[in-house]
């Protein structure tokens, strides 16, 4: 079986590629390298440096490779950029995804796994943890664009019988995560503390997120190849953690004496509190997280330290 992974040279996507290779799948990667890196990919992986908005180029790849499965991770992921440039966000996350779905139908793709967001899609839920039936009220264009594709997946299933699974991620962290631009706070804190820079927390440090280590996300993507037809799943830890707790956990993993972070105003589009209910994933995807926050952050810190030593 051949799987095409969009965004497969990026942080999460490259780990998913590794997971699929371990399952014996033939993997094709499409990535424009705007955030990803070739060194994230195992030697010999079939790779195309293509922007998913490039319709003709993407069509040519489908003609040549004829994938059986699609795993769609390529996206505009910068929440701040989405607020500044909502049309660009929609072009990348909605229009390009629709074209990908059309190609999937044209070429007889057997399954479509879509990486959505559980961190931005629900907005500020009235009750936590949020399950998959919680009203979707995103407060950023990014959340809107990621959710819109879920509707198109449902539609293409009804119209054309395309099997799909949606994975709504919490805040994913782990090795290979970028610390540049709009990136994960764990990666940013790791790199800054290793360089002797005082990290900045936006807000008062009490905002909560639901963090999930990337290897747990990979296992969900593997399970989604065989289970969960037509379903949406929250993929997270089910534990809410504050910004300050993340700061402290990274500092302790680096064995740095106590110090205080800098603080700045909360940024537009950021939710105050989010936590996800995992009951459905446990029941229907046969999945649950296995990596605790402390172990996951230690693993991430060790990766950043090794990378810094190589520079």
Give residue limits of the domains in the chain. Answer: 2-172+212-235, 175-209+239-275+292-310
Q: Which residues are catalytic?
A: 142
Topology agreement, domain 2-172+212-235 and domain 175-209+239-275+292-310: no
- Do you find a cis peptide bond into 129, omega within 30 degrees of 0? yes
Q: Where would I find the beta strands (DSSP E) of the chain?
A: 2-6, 26-31, 46-49, 69-72, 111-117, 164-169, 171-173, 200-202, 208-213, 231-235, 240-242, 262-264
3-class state of residue 260 by DSSP: coil
Alpha helical stretches, state H, 181-292: 185-194, 214-223, 243-253, 279-284
Task: Read off the pLDDT of each residue in 209-233 and give the average, rounded to a whole number.
Answer: 97
Tens digits of per-residue pLDDT, 126-179? 999 999 999 999 988 999 999 999 999 999 999 999 999 999 999 999 999 987
Task: Read off the pLDDT of each residue in 16-22 and give the average, rounded to a whole number.
Answer: 98
The pLDDT of residue 115 is 98
**Class assignment of domain 175-209+239-275+292-310?**
alpha beta
Per DSSP, what are the bridge partners of residue 26?
Answer: 2
Residue 221, pLDDT > 60, answer yes
CATH topology of domain 2-172+212-235: Rossmann fold (3.40.50)
Residue 183, pLDDT > 70, answer no
CA 171 to chain centroid: 8
Q: In which element (H, E) is residue 105 found?
A: helix 96-106
């Amino acid at each position: 079986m051949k799987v095409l992974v969009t965004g497969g040279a990026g942080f999460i996507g490259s780990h998913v590629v590794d997971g699929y290779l371990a399952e014996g799948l033939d993997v094709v990667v499409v990535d424009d390298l705007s955030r990803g890196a070739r060194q994230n990919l195992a030697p010999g992986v079939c790779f195309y440096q293509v922007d998913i908005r490039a319709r003709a180029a993407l069509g040519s790849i489908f003609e040549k490779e004829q994938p059986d499965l699609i795993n769609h991770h390529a996206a505009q992921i910068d929440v701040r950029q989405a607020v500044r440039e909502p049309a660009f966000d929609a072009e990348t996350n909605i229009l390009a995804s629709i074209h990908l779905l059309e190609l999937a139908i044209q070429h007889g793709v057997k399954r479509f796994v879509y990486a959505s967001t559980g961190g931005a899609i629900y907005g500020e839920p009235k009750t936590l943890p949020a399950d998959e039936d919680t009203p979707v009220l995103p407060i950023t264009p990014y959340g809107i664009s990621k959710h819109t594709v879920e509707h198109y997946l449902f539609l293409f299933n009804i119209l054309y019988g395309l099997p799909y699974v949606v994975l709504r991620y919490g805040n994913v962290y782990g090795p290979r995560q970028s610390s540049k631009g709009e990136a994960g706070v764990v990666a940013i804190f790791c790199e800054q503390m290793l360089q002797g820079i005082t990290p900045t927390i936006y807000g008062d440090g009490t905002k909560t997120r639901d963090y999930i280590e990337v290897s747990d996300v990979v296992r969900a993507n593997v399970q989604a190849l065989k289970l969960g037809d037509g379903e949406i799943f929250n993929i997270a830890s089910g534990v809410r953690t504050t910004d300050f707790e993340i700061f402290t956990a990274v500092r302790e993993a680096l064995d740095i004496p106590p110090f205080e972070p800098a603080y700045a105003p909360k940024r537009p589009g950021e939710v105050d509190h989010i936590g996800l209910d995992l009951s459905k994933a446990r029941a229907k995807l046969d999945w649950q997280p296995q990596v605790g926050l402390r172990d996951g952050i230690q693993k991430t810190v060790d990766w950043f330290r090794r990378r810094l030593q190589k520079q």
